[in-house]
A and B are shown apart, each in its own frame.
Chain A
Amino acid sequence: MLRGTVAFIVLVAFAVLGTELREAFNRRGLRAPAMEGILFLVIGFSLGERGLGLFPENVLINLRVVVLFGLGWIGLVFGTQLDFRIIRRLSVRHRFVGLTTPFIFGIPVALGGVALGLSTALSIGLAAVAMASSPSSLEALARSRRILGRNAVGLLKLVMAFAGIPAVLVFALAAAMASPLAVHRGGNVPAWHLVFVTAAVGVVVGYSLVVLVRGVREHIQLLTLALGTVCLIAGASSVLGLSALPAAAFAGAVLVNRAVFPHRMLRVAHSLERPMLVALLVLVGASWGGASFSLPVFLLLTCVRLAAAGAAGVFLGWAISGRMGARLRPALGLGLLPQGELALGLTVAIVSFFPSQQGVLEAVLAALVVNNLVGGWWMRRRLFSGLGRETTS
């Protein structure tokens, strides 16, 4: 039985290890966030009550502060990627496609979840996970094939970057529906009002941070203010029964678009991202109660997502693929299959938000692995080979 401090030491140790591992992967030109994530979940599980028993339940309750804070920090990092100055440079059509394509993945998953008898809130939460794609795997592969500059790759990166916005908004809705304050949970506030409250929490605190960091230059001062802000957002969201991740994402977006020197805040936000994600994954792995594997959820998140990738490819090909060959167009959707940090963060958020649905966790994680392995393989085989052939010809 470990005390809270020792458990925290273990977490920090793995955060150090995780950051080192990421750097080692980066030095070798590899990017596999989901696979690294699974590794730390497995480590967490082996340290948890079902494994070595080093993280008993009372310690995990004490470390919930770290989970809430970590989710807030990941949300802040995601939010800082939404630079409207860049987004405004894109055409309206590109923006529309970028924002709507993720729903091709999300809607079938949400409907499938409801059909499987899951609660509406959880189904929508799973849809949010299904919507989150990762541009990093695509980018790494495209770079290795020397086709990074191709239009199709740029288009996919754009769609993936946008995919996070609806994914986070949809998760905010799921969290609002699961909040004890929501009408159908016995509270007296409509769920959609709570989505606005989530946004308001993020925007108010985000604007406050923008003003607070004015004239502050030192990294440590900026980091201190960012720490305080994330604590406030995570705390306020939690006491309202909402999720910290979307609220912090709103704050991050405000910060990067309104701060006088956004690059400084970006550096601050990214400095803690990796250790936080690793700590979260270890904690989630440790808290897994060993519930039975939910095969229907796994199939929902893999098969439906694979099928949706084809539909998304058709949609993208119809909408904005330009002069791309007709045979290659449907393969565009395959580029959206791999998932990364945001999907992992949303999975952690689901676990912390729906603790009674432990059986879903391993299904979501297994689906993440399959999506990355199969998606990566398929993407290489069909999309990149096709693009490579087009370049050669």
Chain B
Amino acid sequence: MRWSLFLVLAAFSWVARLIGRGVVDDPSGSALLSLGCLIIGGVLVGEAAARIRFPRITGYLVLGMAVGPHALGLQTARDAELLRLFEELALGLIALTAGGEFRIAVVRRRLRPLLAITTAHTLGILLIVSSVLWVLLRTVSFLGPVTPAEAAAAVVLLGVIAVAVSPSTTIAVITELRARGEMVETVLGVTIVKDLVILLLFTVVNAVALSWVSGQGLDLSDLGHVAIDIFGSLLVGGVLGVVLGFYITRVGRLVPLTVLLLALASVELGRSLQMEHLLVCMAAGFAARNLYPTAAGHFLDALEQSSTPVYVVFFALVGAGLDLGIFAAVWLPAFVYVVVRLAAIWVATRVPAVAAGSGWRVIRYGWMGFVAQAGLSLGLAARIQRELPGIGDAIATLVIAAVVVNQLLGPVLWERAILAAGENRETVPTRKGPPRGAAR
């Protein structure tokens, strides 16, 4: 019944557009219509996904892909542009949640595995993926005609992008399952630290790749800028977090609206000061949580209260931006890239986890939390495309195709990992019988 209603609403919005087309030109109305379909459809698809034991965000992503400009076209590219504001707001709130979930006590407790896995991922995945792709590129020219220097640049850049993960996806699944435990804490910690490291790593590797392709000397001047950006982002975020914590502790009124305000302010400050806005938000959440422990409850409650609409809007819009057509065009190299990356993640998580004395949950299932990729990877691909006009297009196409797969696969694997490790507190609804984990 609910599904047929959604179909009626989708048809209704399509008819409304059809009637108004050519007579009424209202892009804002069209964007709202798309948003309405995405929200209502997202809630239903999320419920359906949860029933078949898939993460809700996979449902949101699939819905976004289906109604997006690359498929049914219920949401147009112009709508997506107008809804960018909501996407940014959602991203800010997700990053605040990620920072808020990252406690100093946990960092201290899990310092060894955290450092070991982060180092192994940074170097191991880069090396494994680059080496395998290098060998592959020598036999199959999946990037088109390239010189050896360009081939070397391409494989190292693809190796760096393979290191990147999606913090928003990781935190969304954790929030959905209300997961707590050793594996969740370790994976979240590594994801956040990797988010910092990847920016530095990419800057270095990109400079090396550019010097290979252009044949000029290595220019690492950007590295200083990136380091300052990271430091500045953490500082600005920290100050905002202190302001938020102070407000919640002293005033404590209208906390959800204030958190929303802070998320927006963090995103905009980060952007206008040329900083990493995701890091600004994460640092703000981290500071508010750890410097004002009494405010932490209100802060996290406010974030959790807003989680459903935020995740629906964000992931549906992310899904709408994913183009299955690109994957179809380069499916074989993309498939190889995804498989090699999975294998590299497995090795680079399991080995350091054993060495650092992590529990069996991290050793066995931890790798599944590092599969998802989204905005950061796409952003890096766009930068490569801009800076390496020759092979940049081919690299970006391959990355976008791989992100489609990883973003669909990642949440599913991460949810399976949390359930298998028994670190979920939220029961998972099933079609028949009582929810899994519910008291009988």
Contacts and interface: CB of A to CB of B under 8 A. Distances in A.
Contacts, number: 163
Interface string A166-204: 000000000000011100000100000000000001001
B309 interface: yes
A231 B23 contact: no
Interface in B9-56: 9, 12-13, 16-17, 19-20, 23-24, 26, 28-40, 42-44
Contacts of B43: 212, 221, 224-225, 228
Contacts of B40: 208, 212, 225, 228-229, 232
B249 interface: no
Interface stretch (B256-264, B333-341, B349-357, B389-397): B256-264
Contacts of A310: none
Contacts of B253: 20
Interface stretch (A116-124, A236-244, A286-294): A236-244
A233 to B, nearest CB: 8
Contact of B307 (A12, A220, A227): A220
Contacts of B1: 211
B261 A221 contact: no
A237 to B, nearest CB: 7
B95 to A, nearest CB: 15
Nearest to A209: B40
A141 B297 CA distance: 41
A3 interface: yes
A90 interface: no
A246 B72 CA distance: 30
B2 A211 contact: yes
A239 B33 contact: yes
A56 to B, nearest CB: 16
A204 B12 contact: yes
Contacts of B8: 204, 208
Contacts of A223: 308-309
Nearest to A179: B24
B312 A224 contact: yes
A235 B24 CA distance: 12
A208 B39 CA distance: 13
A115 interface: no
B71 to A, nearest CB: 19
Contact of B257 (A3, A12, A238): A12
B309 A9 contact: no
Interface in A89-120: none
Interface string A1-39: 001111011001101100110000000000000000000
A65 interface: yes
Contacts of B265: 9
Interface residues of B, number: 54
A221 B257 contact: no
Contacts of A12: 257, 260-261, 264
The DSSP consensus for interface residues of chain A is: helix
A5 B29 contact: no
Nearest to A4: B85
A58 interface: no
Given A187-B23, A232-B36, A15 B257 contact: yes
B257 A235 contact: no
A241 B25 CA distance: 9
A334 B88 CA distance: 49
B258 A238 contact: no
B268 interface: yes
B309 A227 contact: yes
A259 interface: no
Interface in B41-87: 42-44, 82-83, 85
B430 interface: no
A179 B308 CA distance: 35
B9 A68 contact: no
A201 B36 CA distance: 13
A208 B9 contact: yes
Nearest to A15: B257
Given A234-B29, A239-B24, A8 B254 contact: no
B305 interface: yes
Nearest to A188: B23
A5 B305 contact: no
B28 A236 contact: no
B35 A235 contact: yes
B387 to A, nearest CB: 25
Contacts of B308: 220-221, 223-224
Given A187-B23, A225-B40, A236 B267 contact: no
B131 interface: no
A24 B346 CA distance: 57
A205 B254 contact: no
B135 interface: no
A64 interface: yes
Contacts of B105: none
Contact of B33 (A6, A64, A236): A236
Given A19-B254, A211-B5, A229-B40, A181 B24 contact: yes
Contact of B31 (A65, A201, A204, A224): A65
B32 A229 contact: no
B306 interface: yes
Could you say which of B34, B37, B40, B253 has the most chain A C-beta atoms within 10 Å of its C-beta?
Answer: B40
A315 interface: no
A94 B16 CA distance: 38
A241 to B, nearest CB: 4
A6 to B, nearest CB: 5
Contacts of B20: 181, 239-241
A235 B261 contact: no
B2 A235 contact: no
Nearest to A2: B268
B355 to A, nearest CB: 42
A357 interface: no
A224 B39 contact: yes
A221 B33 CA distance: 19
Contacts of A219: 305
Interface of A: 3-6, 8-9, 12-13, 15-16, 19-20, 61-62, 64-65, 67-69, 179-181, 187, 201, 204-205, 208, 211-212, 219-221, 223-225, 227-241, 275
17 contacts: A5-B85, A5-B88, A9-B264, A65-B31, A68-B32, A180-B24, A181-B19, A181-B24, A204-B12, A208-B40, A212-B40, A212-B43, A228-B40, A234-B29, A235-B36, A237-B29, A239-B19
Interface of B: 1-2, 5-6, 8-9, 12-13, 16-17, 19-20, 23-24, 26, 28-40, 42-44, 82-83, 85, 88-89, 253-254, 257-258, 260-261, 264-265, 267-268, 271-272, 305-309, 312
Name the 7 nearest CB pairs between A and B, nearest first. A238-B29, A235-B33, A228-B39, A232-B36, A231-B36, A235-B32, A239-B20
Given A64-B28, A232-B36, A241-B26, 15 more contacts: A4-B85, A19-B257, A211-B5, A212-B44, A221-B43, A228-B36, A228-B40, A235-B29, A235-B30, A236-B13, A236-B16, A236-B33, A238-B29, A238-B32, A239-B33
